[in-house]
Structure 1
């Protein structure tokens, strides 16, 4: 039976744990611009997906073995997009990556197995080619700026995440005293808007996504323990709290995970000189065990051993009166 932990209502619900993960499941498809394509799931597929809380497009390198020459010739020409879903039968299964094909490599391994290797990026076309040429009138608000920018990205096939408008709505409707000209690359204005209003922006699964610099996205926390897929011992270092678990598509950038405090190795100094005494040199941890996902890397092999998700996360202060200000912007601070 699943166990539940009480968490603040603004986390989106109870944190769930429990259940056993058996039977890997993977679907890999190459698609045309209309969403039609080929399902290559019956072949051996290996993949590495890199997702992070940054505007630079997420990437995937995927290798498919022993395709026919005709199929390989169609990929990159007729089919220019990819969709990867992975996880476990009857448990955590869902979308890992969607994006545009950037490069293709054809070759052989051991002179017996042919392979096709694809490099793909999430929202890459929109990131590189969405432009602005617009003047906003005096009296416009931050929402008006963002409405125009998202409209421009939509023309290149990138939508908005389910919680995007929620975060935009948290910005006070302060009117511009003068008009504002939006000219040039849309990504430049997205970065300017996000920095000014305390967010980081990125593209996740083909959708524009906002994450508060000192907050997190709403939704359930994914509990990671020895019974729910945690692998090895998490470690807090200068980059954040590093965690490895069995591949889990429910782990999303800006979302929450929960790891027991006693499961994490931490590092502090104990030098007796005038400097560095009791200086914290690892990222903050929290007794409540809640962390915001900063980086997620998914690795899998449908005919081999790898089937992991590697995470770097920052501690969330569950007791903070304003959960939009519950995460250290640097990851450092007192152990909560």
Structure 2
């Protein structure tokens, strides 16, 4: 992929449920996109600068308290190669200014908003229903909320020993299912993606080198292997990268008595490295500025076959 002539396209639905949308690609846009393993949906914070008052009011209402739930699609990449880095729904508009002349409209959005916050499941599962059938049932529940099924790994054919009734939030139903089957599931760009815990999505590993966009030296920390590269929409949660082991930097051990032997396995290349430099992506953060320098992807990765998994950080709670 040629990583120059950066491009960005932002479309925002004007009214929920309607086809009318605004293309804001010509404006100055800055963004931060975060995707963690658990507990947080894929999240976007997008700033659009110096919109006309009419356009700003059309999107956010005259007082900034207009309707929310509109679909936002942000695509980024390079000349001739745009890919979606975020697709989701608005849950807040903010207005402000950086100085007397530059105003902005901030869009806060998350992927799969209806499925995460509002979807309810009331159903009975008969005895003998297999985990694969329950997985397919989950796909239908997601579809009702406007979330398509992306990659969803196979699970056990073991049947339920007795019938089961479920009544509650879809997110709780999903949590029970993933715990039972030792899997992780996220909603990414309005698609449900499920992978085996500690596994990947089956796509070939992306070889991370300076020629493919690697910036600086990957660092091994208690949060996992941190890798920074030029913005690459192809790098997704559940994917895999291959890193030259000679480029990896390790972090110093905690010399305090309470920290010794606690953090060392996570910062030790022997226990935290991936097999032949292969690492699973457990957290992805994209940041960009169409009129500035930012145009990066930051990854947190865990070694394939590693004995150590992250203790804290973006891979766990989307907090860095």
TM-score interval (norm. to shorter) = 0.7 to 0.9
Asked if the contact 2:222/2:263 (under 8 Å) is kept, the reply is no
| 1:45-104 C-alpha deviation (Å, 9 max, x unpaired) | 00000111225211111000111112112214578121000011145x311001110111
Q: How does 1:1-336 map to 2 (within 5 A)?
A: 20-31=2-13, 32-76=16-60, 77=66, 80-90=70-80, 93-161=82-150, 163-164=151-152, 167=153, 170-267=154-251, 276=261, 279-282=264-267, 284-286=272-274, 288-316=276-304, 326=305, 328=307, 330=309
Asked if the contact 1:258/1:291 (under 8 Å) is kept, the reply is yes
- For 2:134 and 2:240, the matched residues in 1 are separated by 29
The alpha carbon displacement at 1:280 in A equals: 2.8
- C-alpha change, 1:173 and 1:232, in structure 2 (3 Å) is same
The alpha carbon displacement at 1:150 in A equals: 2.4
| 1:128-164 C-alpha deviation (Å, 9 max, x unpaired) | 1111111111121112322333222211111110x21
The alpha carbon displacement at 1:281 in A equals: 4.0
Q: Which sections of structure 1, spanning at least 5 residues, go unmatched?
A: 1-18, 317-325
Q: Which sections of structure 2, spanning at least 5 residues, go unmatched?
A: 61-65, 312-320
Asked if the contact 1:63/1:116 (under 8 Å) is kept, the reply is yes
- For 1:194 and 1:130, the matched residues in 2 are separated by 17
1:320 is matched with which residue?
A: none
Give the TM-score, by structure 2 length: 0.86
